[in-house]
Structure 1
Amino acid sequence: MAKIVLIEPTELYNILNQQTVYPCLSDQNFLLLLDARNKAEYDESHVVTAKRAPLDEDGNYKVPYDAELECKTHVIVYDSNCRSLREKNSAVYCASVMANSGSKNPVKILRGGYEDFSAMYPFLRTQKILYMPQEYDSIQTFPCEVLPGIMYIGSSKQAHDKFIHKELKIRAHINLSHEKDMFFSESNTDTYLHVPIDDTDDADFTSYIDKIVSFIDTNRNELRTILVWSSNGISRSAAACILYLMSYYKWPMRDAWRHMRSCKFMIRPNRGLVKQLAKFEEKHLGKQITDIEDPNY
C-alpha cells in the first residue's frame, strides 16, 4: 500500500505549472487529479484538469476507468476542505482506495481542499470537464512559486504575459537576461533589477549577488510580489532564487537546491553559476558544505 500524505496548496500549484517544451500535464502519466466532492460542486467549478472521483453502484470510490495508477507520477485527491489525515471524509476515503489499488508513489491529499486552493489561485478554477490531447499541449502555465505569495520563477514568455502579471499580482522583476522588459523601466530601481549576464560558464554572477539579495529583501518588506526570470526560467533565474534562499534562510546550497527542485523540477543552473554559488556558501556559512561534484547534492 502506498503512503498517504498531506500537501499544501502551493505544491499542487507548482505541479500544475511544470513545463518542458510542453506543459507536463500533456503527459497522461504525469498527474491524476481527483475531485472527491459531490457532482453539483464539481460541475459548478473545480481545479483545472481535475476529474470527478468515480463511485461504484454502492457509493464507494473506485479507480477511474483506464487510470493506470502504477504509471502515475502524481496522484492527488481533494474534497471541500480536508485539514487532517485523521478526518473521516471523502478525500481520505478516496485516497485510501487509490493507495490500496496500485499507486507506486504516495497518494497526496490537498490540505484545505478546494476551498483554500480556489481562494489562493482562482485563475486555476474551471468548469471544463473533457480535454482533447492537443488542449493539454496548449494549457497556459504560470511561473512556479518559490516563496508562497512572495517570489516566483519564470521564463521570458511568462514575464511578458499581462494575464500572468494580473493574476499573480506581480509588482517587481529581476530580469537575468538581455531581453527588454515591457512592464518595468530600468530607471525604477525599486521594482526592477536587470542582471544582464549570459547563460555561460564564464558569466560573472558574483558581482550581482549583493544587489539580488538586497532587491528581494526590499521588495519583500514592501509586500511586493517578485518575478525572477530568464529566457527559459531554468538556469540564471534558478541560480538567483537559490542564492536568495541560501542568504535569507542560511541554508547550504544543497538544501536551497532541493527546495528549488521541489518547486520547479527542471531547473539546471550552468556549471559556472553552481561554482559561484558554492563560493558564496563558503563565504556566507564559513565553510563549504555542499559537494558540487556529488551528483546527488
Structure 2
Amino acid sequence: MTEGKAQVVAVCDADAVFRVFTACPHDPKTLIIDVRDKKKWDRGHIAGSYCIRLPASGGTLLDYSKCEYDLKWSTDVWWNKDCIVYGEAGLKRDHPVVAFLANEKRARSIAVFREGLEAFQQRYPFLVTTSVRAGAGRRYPSQLEPLLYLGDWSHAEALERHAELGIRAVVTIHNNPDNLRLPPGRYSHLKIELPDIETADISAHLRAAYDFIEEARAAKRAVLVHCGAGVSRSATLCIAYLMRKHRWSAQRALELTKARRSLVAPNDGFWRTLCALEAQLGIAERWGLAAAAAAAAVVVGSNADAFAGFHGADAPVVAEIVEPKVQVTFIPAGATSAPAGSKAQAPAPPPKAPLPAERGGELERRRERSRSRSRDRRRRSHSRERRRSRSRSRDRQRRRSRSRSRDRRRDGSRERRRRDEEPRGGAAAEPAPAQQQQEEERVDVESTEGAVLEVVREGKSLGHLVVELWRVSQECVFGRMPSCDVQLEHLSISRAHAQLTTDGAGNLFVTDMGSAHGTNVDDAWIKAKVPKQLRVGSVFKFGASVRQYKVAKLPQRTAARR
C-alpha cells in the first residue's frame, strides 16, 4: 500500500449508481462492489456488481460472486477505475473494503452508496437481479436530471427501457422525425425537423422544446430528448433547457451535460446560438472565471469559439484542395524541347487488367491459377521475343551507323579536295545542314523558371530534367510507383524514394522518404525524413543506382508564381 494520507471517499445517491448503466461505449468502466455476505448477494444484488470481501490476512480483495461478466475480477481490476461500494443501509467509510481501497489509493475515485440495496430497488427495481449476467446488454439513455433523459435513436426505439424509466414524452429532432413510430395514445411526441448543420436555425425551436419538457416533468412523466446520435441537436435542446430552467451560462450547462453524456458536442452554429441565448435570458453568471477576473468584476461570456470547425454531422464534406501536379519535363541531350510533363524514364506500361471478381469454389480457383500461369508464360515468352527483336534492331542500327560513318568519311575527303581546289578569298561556304541543326539543338537551361537537374550516368550527360515547383506545398516525388512525378526503374530504389520541395525563398530541398537504400547528396548519405538543402552544383543519387542528378539551376520565385 502507498504511504501517506488515504484517498477521499465520497457519498453518492441512487441516481449516481444508475448512471453507471448510461455510460457511453468508450467511457471508463465503473465497478459496483457489494460488501454484504454471499447469501444475501445470492438473493439479490445490483446488476453487474461483485460480491467482495477482505480476508483476515488483509492482503487483497477477493470475489465471492463467481460471476461471468466480461470484466473478470483480479488483484488489480480496480486500478484507475471509478468504484461505487454499497452494502447494508448506513454503510460507513471505515468499512474494511472501503478502507482498503482508500489506503491503497489505486482507484480513480471511491464513492459509497449508504442507503442500501432496498432503497436502490425502490427507485430502480429493474436493475436488481439474482443473475450474474443481468446487466450485460442493457443500454439506457443518459440522465441529466430526474425525469430528463438524453439519448440517440436506438434509445427512442427501446420501448422496454421506456417502461422501466417511466418515459411517456419524447422530443425527436431529426432530418426525418416521422420515421420514429411510437404506440399511439401512450406518448406525447414533439417532432422537430432539422438537419445537423451549423447553418440550421435551431433557435426557433428552443422555446417549444422547453415548454414541452416542463409540461411533461410537471406531470411527473419522464422525457427523452433524442436525435440521431445524441451528440449535437438533442444536446443543444437540453443545454438550452438547463440554461433557461436554472439561469445557467451555456458553459455550465454544457459541462453538466458532458459529465452525464461524454459524447455531447453541439456543432459550431448551435453553440453560438446557445452563447447568444445568455444575453437574451439576462444571465449574469459566468462559469469558470479565473479568480483575478472575478475580483476585477470582468464580465466574460462562454467561449463562442469552443466548437469552431465542427459543422455538424449532416454538413457536406468539404472537398480537399488538391495542388496541381508538378510538371516535369525531360530534355534529352542535344534536344531543345520535349512534351510537357514527360517523365525522365520510358513511359510506364499500361496498367494491368483487373483481376476477375472473386469466385467461389475450389475448381474455379484452380482454373484461375492455371490461367494466371498461362499468362505468365505468355508474358515471359513475349518478353524474350521483345529482347531478341531489340537486339536484332540494335545490330541493324550499328551496321547502318558504320555504313553512314564510311559515307561521311568519303564525303569529307571529297569536300576537302574541293575546298583545296577553290581560289583563296572566295565566298565563305554555307554551313552543312547537319552542323546547322546541331547548333540549333543547344539547350539553354537558364531560360526556364523551374529547377533544372542535369541527369548524368557514368560521366555521360543524358539530358536535363526541368522540375516546375511553384508552391511551397508542392512535392516532386522520385520512385518506382507509376504515380511518382519522376518514375525510376533501378531495383534498389523504393516505391516512393525521395521528394524535391521548395520554400518561399526559392531554395531547393531533397528529402529521403524512409527508403530502404537511402539517398546520397554530395557523397554523403542523408537522414530520412529530414530535408537537405541543395545548391547549384549539388549532386544527389538514389540507392545503388549509378544515375546522378546535378543541380544546374534553382527555381525562380516570381511574384506571379507565389
TM score, norm. by length of structure 2 = 0.45
Pick one of 238, 243, 248 that aligns with 2:240. Answer: 243
Is the Cα–Cα contact under 8 Å of residues 48 and 125 in structure 1 kept in the other structure? Answer: yes
2:301 is matched with: 289
Is the Cα–Cα contact under 8 Å of residues 252 and 281 in structure 1 kept in the other structure? Answer: yes
By how many angstroms is 1:286 displaced? 4.9
1:50 is matched with: 49
Query: Which runs of 5 or more structure 2 residues have no equivalent in the other structure?
Result: 1-5, 63-72, 285-299, 308-562
Q: Which structure features the higher share of helix residues? A: 1
Q: Deviations over 1:83-123 (max 9, x none)?
A: 765xx6xxx43222111123242311114132222211111
By how many angstroms is 1:57 displaced? 4.0
- AA aligned to 2:41 is Y
Quickly say closer, same or farther: Cα 1:197–1:83, change in 2 above 3 A: farther
Q: Which moved more, 1:7-16 or 1:285-294?
A: 285-294
Q: Secondary structure at the match of 2:193?
A: coil
- AA aligned to 2:76 is E
Query: Which runs of 5 or more structure 1 residues have no equivalent in the other structure?
Result: none
1:230 is matched with: 227
2:170 is matched with: 173
Is the Cα–Cα contact under 8 Å of residues 7 and 102 in structure 2 kept in the other structure? Answer: yes
Q: How does 1:191-202 map to 2 (within 5 A)?
A: 191-202=188-199
Q: Secondary structure at the match of 1:53?
A: strand
By how many angstroms is 1:41 displaced? 1.3
1:2 is matched with: 7
Is the Cα–Cα contact under 8 Å of residues 2 and 105 in structure 1 kept in the other structure? Answer: no
Could you tell me how far apart the structure 2 residues matched to 1:69 and 1:4 are? Answer: 18
Could you tell me how far apart the structure 2 residues matched to 1:77 and 1:105 are? Answer: 13
2:39 is matched with: 40
By how many angstroms is 1:168 displaced? 1.0
Q: Which moved more, 1:259-268 or 1:2-11?
A: 259-268
* 1:126 corresponds to 2:129: yes
Q: How does 1:184-223 map to 2 (within 5 A)?
A: 191-223=188-220
Considering Cα pairs closer than 8 Å and 6+ residues apart, tell me whether 1 or 2 has the greater RCO.
1
Pairs aligned (count): 274
Q: Secondary structure at the match of 1:199?
A: coil
Q: Which moved more, 1:49-58 or 1:171-180?
A: 49-58
- AA aligned to 1:278 is C
Q: In terms of Rg, which structure is larger?
A: 2
Is the Cα–Cα contact under 8 Å of residues 22 and 143 in structure 2 kept in the other structure? Answer: no
Could you tell me how far apart the structure 2 residues matched to 1:193 and 1:184 are? Answer: 14
Quickly say closer, same or farther: Cα 1:174–1:127, change in 2 above 3 A: same
- AA aligned to 2:180 is D
Is the Cα–Cα contact under 8 Å of residues 31 and 78 in structure 2 kept in the other structure? Answer: no
Q: CA RMSD in A?
A: 2.6
Could you tell me how far apart the structure 2 residues matched to 1:141 and 1:168 are? Answer: 12
Identity %: 22
- AA aligned to 1:240 is L
Could you tell me how far apart the structure 2 residues matched to 1:63 and 1:101 are? Answer: 11
Quickly say closer, same or farther: Cα 1:82–1:69, change in 2 above 3 A: farther
2:90 is matched with: 82
Q: Secondary structure at the match of 2:205?
A: helix
Could you tell me how far apart the structure 2 residues matched to 1:196 and 1:61 are? Answer: 59
Q: Secondary structure at the match of 1:153?
A: strand
Is the Cα–Cα contact under 8 Å of residues 75 and 108 in structure 1 kept in the other structure? Answer: yes
By how many angstroms is 1:71 displaced? 3.3
Q: Secondary structure at the match of 2:11?
A: strand
1:117 is matched with: 120
2:30 is matched with: 31
Q: Secondary structure at the match of 1:204?
A: coil
